[in-house]
Structure 1
Amino acid sequence: MAASVEFSFPSTSRSTISQNAFLQSVHNHFQNVMEYEDDKLLEVAISYVPVAKIQMCAIERMRSLQKDIKTGSLDAPEMHLEEAILIELVKWFKTSFFSWVDCPPCHFCSGATKHSFNTEKRDAKVTIRVEIFKCTLCDTETEFPRYNDLATLLITRKGRCGEWAKCFMLFCRAMKYDTRLVVDNTDHVWTEIYSPILKRWLHCDPCENVIDAPLMYEAGWGKKLDYIIAYSKDEVQDITWKYSSNHRDLLTRRNMCTENELITTLIAMRDKRWEILSLERKKFIRKRLCTELVDMMKEREPNENEKSGRSSGSLDWRLQRMETSWKPYVWNVGEHQEVSIKYRTSTNTYEIALLDGTTVKSKKSWENAIYEMKDIFRKEETDWKMTYLARTEGSENAKISWKFKVDNNNKVIDRINIRVSSQAYQSGKIEWILCYDDNCTKIPKESEKHFTLENLNTVTEFTLTAYLSGGEGRTAWQHSQILRQGTDSLDYPMEITIRLRNSS
């Protein structure tokens, strides 16, 4: 049940913005968001976007969805072209345009680095700060500037959530979307796009390639949210309540200012900006704002898509920030006589399918369905358009395990068929080991695409583990790869098929 919170709407004073540091930051963000309205910059930005290709992919996506709905293989609402184009825009930005950087490679030897310290601001127009990383091999210092200049980001095309959100918002404005930059006070940034068809703002996180899953930060990442403010050329709005399913608990963490001070400040800034708007535009925004305020009063339970942990950044980095929902996971089977558990690296998704191909369950993100792991991450090569699982940079070896268990006392495993893929370069090594009861069997390289164990009698659980090691030079971590495939591939580089039989 939503917390009972009383809001008063005082008169909008034109007085100087409060000296409160948080309110000052809100004011600064609202001023800075006007940089996205530079016509010359928007013209440059749109030249980077493959608009025709995105539109074509959107149409193909709609046709495929409509076909699945008509044939009865999918129960889902039809998709509007506007929504399909947005999905393809986010996908293109994530997979082809921008790159994530946790720790940049050493500029001298290309070795792994660790953060050392930050320098003061250099040029307020070009950088926010400069992070200094020290190489773990040669101790050389490498600089990583955190650029905030939009024209510069079009060239560098790398960073973390701040750079991602700023550059993506620029493209959205260039595509004529009504867009706002969303700043989470607990250290994350994303965007929202207004849909005239759905008549509401859509949460859109380019780092995660996720649309319309606002509860994922609280439910999936485990964030303790306090203030989430949205900024656009027309308005500034506190939208925190949309991103939480526990308003009462959320309210206890809002101590940067009083609710009255926040509302007063937002209305004052909004009214000042509205002085240049037409009456029709102001009428439209007021109506839209009222609808949003009513919607935000409702608490909603998170769906399955919103329960996944963060996917952007290395696993070590996410674990340090406590923004992943990973914990040892066991695949429970037993409801059906035969099932296949499949993983697709390109989309970072798992599926459980029946013998006839019908999908009965899906799960997002590779680390959300593994039993054990060490020094491994999912790598996307935007230049070569390939994706795979590999060792973390600087690590000598890595492992990843999946565990399967029969959750039915009347069933045992009769047959296991495994299909996986490995790619080793130079002296890189990969070993796949299947363990059940007190037995462990190595899967030979030539059998990776068809390895079968039958007549297992009393087996009710097993684990499949990949060990990655070897390699040469500074990029040794990259010389052992598993489940490698193209970023556009729809194949499954891993499939484990399990057939059961009665235990008696």
Structure 2
Amino acid sequence: MSGFQGISALCENPNEVFLDVSKLLLTYADNILRNPNEEKYRSIRLGNPTFSTKLLPINGAVECLFEMGFEEAETHLVFPKSASVDQLRRVRETIAAERNQRLGSDPNTTSSQNTSSCSTSSSPAASTPAQTPAPQSTTQPSTQPSTQPSTQPSTQPSTQPSTQPSTQPSTQPSTQPSTQPSTQPSTQPSTQPSTQPSTQPSTQPSTQPPTQQQSLLSSMTFLRTLQSNFQHVLLYESADMQQKALNCIPREDLCSRAKERLEQARKADPDCSLAEEDMLVLELLQWFKGDFFSWVNSLPCSRCGGNTQSAGSLQPSADDLRWDANRVENHYCNTCHLTTRFPRYNNPEKLLETRRGRCGEWANCFTLCCRALGLEARYIWDCTDHVWTEVYSHSQQRWLHCDPCENTCDKPLLYEIGWGKKLSYIFAFSKDQVIDVTWRYSCKHQEVISRRTQVQETWLLHTINGLNAVRQQALSADRKKELLERLVVELVEFISPKSPKPGELGGRISGSLAWRAARGETGADGTKEKAAGFVFIPTETEKRVKLFHLQYNITKDCYCRVSNDQEKIPGWEKCVWSNESVFRKEEHDWQIVYLSRTEGTSLGKLCWRFVCAPVGMKIKSVSIRAISQTFHSGTVRWSLRSAQTSVEFPGDGKMHSVAGLSGSTELVVEAELSGGDGDAGWQHAQLFRQNMKETETSSFEIIVEMEDA
């Protein structure tokens, strides 16, 4: 249309969309034509919600602004003094003609509804009488296009994370009436036009370089992501939703375990300054992963229960959309030729029911559970396709990395060092603020800086400060001060890249002994102190039947003391006599769980101890069954020993009767893990490896027949 590519693209939109957008475009143009010397009409703030939600997503809208003569500055689109007013008027008249034709009006006139001012100014000049032609400039406009080069902003990011938080919003006047951010995440239905610029060839050169248009679109896409996530986290503050989460959480049990864990931490470090809240976070992580939520690669067939394969996507139903599932995966069964739907729900309330998904669902629901328990939590979004949670520790006065998918706490370098991710942008969203926390998760700051090319650093800082200023308007002065003080502490942390030791995956190197012991990451000495000392002594029931029978199920992570009325004891570490650098590992991608030595260690040992002398009994016979698996050069050595002898046995999953222990009053079962190749060598020797779906199979079993001493 008239050689303007942007207008042609705009005309392809549905009629209602075209009329709404053209009204805004005409307003921008008319404000400049009526008030050519007013600077406030010559700029459009990129962060303005009206611009980002009503213009940016519409095909051709932004291109029309560029064709008018607008150029991109750091935080605004600006109409420079050197721009051609004639060009602006031509684009304006072309849009007006198309609009009036669609409205059934005289193509040479425009309706008054087209020209209501977008400015926050109340100036009479901002209004337009009905049925008036395009306004005329009161000054002589330039008749030549601008010969000045585009004020293309620098695309180089800052070489250091900013250490000076700004608490002030933008001082630039908005050209839109609303100063509030969008109250809903962007959820464009399928009938909406593409957010990408038209790919149709132009019959006339564009008035702006394509790189500038691409830069603006990238910034606006980025802004929508920030706004959407910032709005989404407000769901976690719903009292009704928090109550539904509390109805699912075994709060008393978790708090009881947290108290026990805190006592253990204080034994490991008498100077422990940790709080029960810190331990509650660890218990919540363990419960959430072990008992509440499940990982989905592909759903089992809804008819035969067999495996399915991903086969694209399906149209979301009305109920799917109600729970923010804009994407529905098609999991197809080749046996039944049946499709099983997997809606990717984004509403945490629904996830309390489904209790399954991938990292998005896990972090979404886990963050809600944290807020329901009164923990200060924020949702962490990584642009390289992962999400998790952070929880604020008041006792440690810092934010803790918490990944529910991994049951991992305070290992921020897990992704860069452990997974090898190439990080660039990571943001933390809470009810009060959004923070760029990329630097917490990287020890390779220069590499990260080189990848931060999507938006300008100055634009990003300005945008984040603006979002925070609006969100924090209703906060008390004390709360604002608290948030600012926390931010300063974070920024100090960010400017000092971490230097993790091999195998630590960013574990808290400088953390207190108590904190590392509470998480089972102190190595041999700390872990031994944490778990040492448990001894099986026959109960009255076992003494009466002269039998001790114990099983351990690693999938359920629970012991069953069969000989003592099927007594259940949760937690593999609860019944070990000593533990040197061994932990329980779940691999949800492969649906496998096992015990292995901790990362970076060359040797792991685990012992169980049985003593029957206190009840006047001695050992008559011993049978034992254990499962172990090795890879590459990894080795596992199993042994049974008493005060008189030591016997090795294989971890082949078969029951073995062990001779030579008769008459003893004490028995120790030991597993020693060693060997393995490369950085992942710690994984090459495993105990009790088992599929997570095998919930009824025990991985370890010992039967001791006794007789009177």
TM tier, shorter chain? Answer: 0.5 to 0.7
Instruction: State the match for 1:21 in structure 2.
Output: 221
Q: 1:102: Cα distance to partner?
A: 0.9
**Where does 1:314-333 land on structure 2 (aligned, <5 Å)?**
none
Report the TM-score, using the length of structure 1 for normalisation. Answer: 0.64
1:298 aligns with 2:471: no
Once the two structures are superposed, residues 233-264 of structure 1 have per-residue CA deviations (whole angstroms, 9 ceiling, x without a partner) of 10001000000010000111112111111111
**Where does 1:148-159 land on structure 2 (aligned, <5 Å)?**
148-159=346-357
- 2:655 aligns to what SS in structure 1? helix
1:365 aligns with 2:574: no
Instruction: State the match for 1:215 in structure 2.
Output: 413
Once the two structures are superposed, residues 277-307 of structure 1 have per-residue CA deviations (whole angstroms, 9 ceiling, x without a partner) of 1111111111111111111111112356643
1:263 aligns with 2:461: yes
Instruction: State the match for 1:401 in structure 2.
Output: 630
- 1:105 aligns to what SS in structure 2? coil
Q: Is the 8 A contact 1:121 1:130 kept in 2?
A: yes
- 1:57 aligns to what SS in structure 2? helix
Instruction: State the match for 1:135 in structure 2.
Output: 333
**Quick one: distance in 1 between partners of 2:237 and 2:385?**
25
Instruction: State the match for 1:420 in structure 2.
Output: 651
1:95 aligns with 2:309: no
Q: Is the 8 A contact 2:647 2:658 kept in 1?
A: no
**Equivalent in 82, 102, 114 of residue 309 of structure 2:** 114
Higher mean Cα deviation, 81-90 or 243-252? 81-90
**Counterpart residue type for residue 223 of structure 1:** K
**Quick one: distance in 1 between partners of 2:279 and 2:306?**
40
**Quick one: distance in 1 between partners of 2:675 and 2:426?**
45
Q: 1:66: Cα distance to partner?
A: 3.6
Q: 1:142: Cα distance to partner?
A: 1.1
**Quick one: distance in 2 between partners of 1:173 and 1:404?**
43
Q: 1:169: Cα distance to partner?
A: 0.9
**Where does 1:48-447 land on structure 2 (aligned, <5 Å)?**
48-67=248-267, 79-122=274-317, 123-126=320-323, 127-303=325-501, 306-307=504-505, 345=554, 359-362=579-582, 365=585, 377-378=591-592, 401-402=630-631, 403-404=633-634, 417-420=648-651, 422=653, 445-447=654-656
**Counterpart residue type for residue 61 of structure 1:** R
**Quick one: distance in 2 between partners of 1:239 and 1:308?**
15
Distance change >3 Å, CA 68–CA 296, structure 1 → 2:
closer
Q: Is the 8 A contact 2:390 2:401 kept in 1?
A: yes
Q: 1:418: Cα distance to partner?
A: 3.5
Q: 1:198: Cα distance to partner?
A: 0.6
**Quick one: distance in 1 between partners of 2:464 and 2:373?**
27
Q: Is the 8 A contact 1:9 1:264 kept in 2?
A: no
Q: 1:170: Cα distance to partner?
A: 0.9
- 1:220 aligns to what SS in structure 2? coil
**Quick one: distance in 2 between partners of 1:39 and 1:360?**
44
Distance change >3 Å, CA 201–CA 110, structure 1 → 2:
same
**Counterpart residue type for residue 401 of structure 1:** T
**Quick one: distance in 2 between partners of 1:202 and 1:35?**
21
**Quick one: distance in 2 between partners of 1:208 and 1:85?**
17
1:5 aligns with 2:160: yes
Query: Aligned-residue CA RMSD in angstroms?
Result: 4.2
**Equivalent in 484, 487, 493 of residue 699 of structure 2:** 484
**Equivalent in 247, 257, 273 of residue 47 of structure 1:** 247
**Relative contact order higher in (CA < 8 Å, ≥ 6 apart):** 1
Instruction: State the match for 1:435 in structure 2.
Output: none
**Counterpart residue type for residue 301 of structure 2:** C
**Counterpart residue type for residue 170 of structure 1:** L
Higher mean Cα deviation, 265-274 or 22-31? 22-31
**Quick one: distance in 2 between partners of 1:22 and 1:157?**
30
Instruction: State the match for 1:437 in structure 2.
Output: none
Report the TM-score, using the length of structure 2 for normalisation. Answer: 0.47
Q: 1:194: Cα distance to partner?
A: 0.8
Distance change >3 Å, CA 289–CA 347, structure 1 → 2:
farther
Flag the structure with higher strand content.
Answer: 1
**Quick one: distance in 1 between partners of 2:398 and 2:461?**
21
User: Higher Cα Rg: structure 1 or 2?
Assistant: 2
**5+ residue gaps in structure 1?**
71-75, 310-342, 349-355, 368-374, 381-398, 407-414, 423-444, 452-459, 470-474, 486-490, 493-504
Instruction: Indicate the percent of aligned positions where both proteins have the same amino acid.
Output: 35
Higher mean Cα deviation, 12-21 or 267-276? 12-21
Once the two structures are superposed, residues 87-135 of structure 1 have per-residue CA deviations (whole angstroms, 9 ceiling, x without a partner) of 1111111111111111100111111111110234544441131000112
**Quick one: distance in 1 between partners of 2:374 and 2:327?**
31
Instruction: State the match for 1:329 in structure 2.
Output: none
**Counterpart residue type for residue 56 of structure 1:** S
Q: Is the 8 A contact 1:161 1:190 kept in 2?
A: yes
Instruction: State the match for 1:409 in structure 2.
Output: none
Instruction: State the match for 1:388 in structure 2.
Output: none
**5+ residue gaps in structure 2?**
1-157, 182-215, 508-551, 558-575, 595-627, 637-645, 661-673, 677-683, 703-709
Distance change >3 Å, CA 260–CA 108, structure 1 → 2:
same
Q: 1:58: Cα distance to partner?
A: 1.1
**Quick one: distance in 2 between partners of 1:464 and 1:200?**
36
**Counterpart residue type for residue 149 of structure 1:** N
Q: Is the 8 A contact 1:421 1:449 kept in 2?
A: no
Distance change >3 Å, CA 227–CA 344, structure 1 → 2:
farther
Distance change >3 Å, CA 121–CA 480, structure 1 → 2:
closer
Q: Is the 8 A contact 2:554 2:593 kept in 1?
A: no
**Counterpart residue type for residue 378 of structure 1:** I
**Counterpart residue type for residue 283 of structure 1:** K
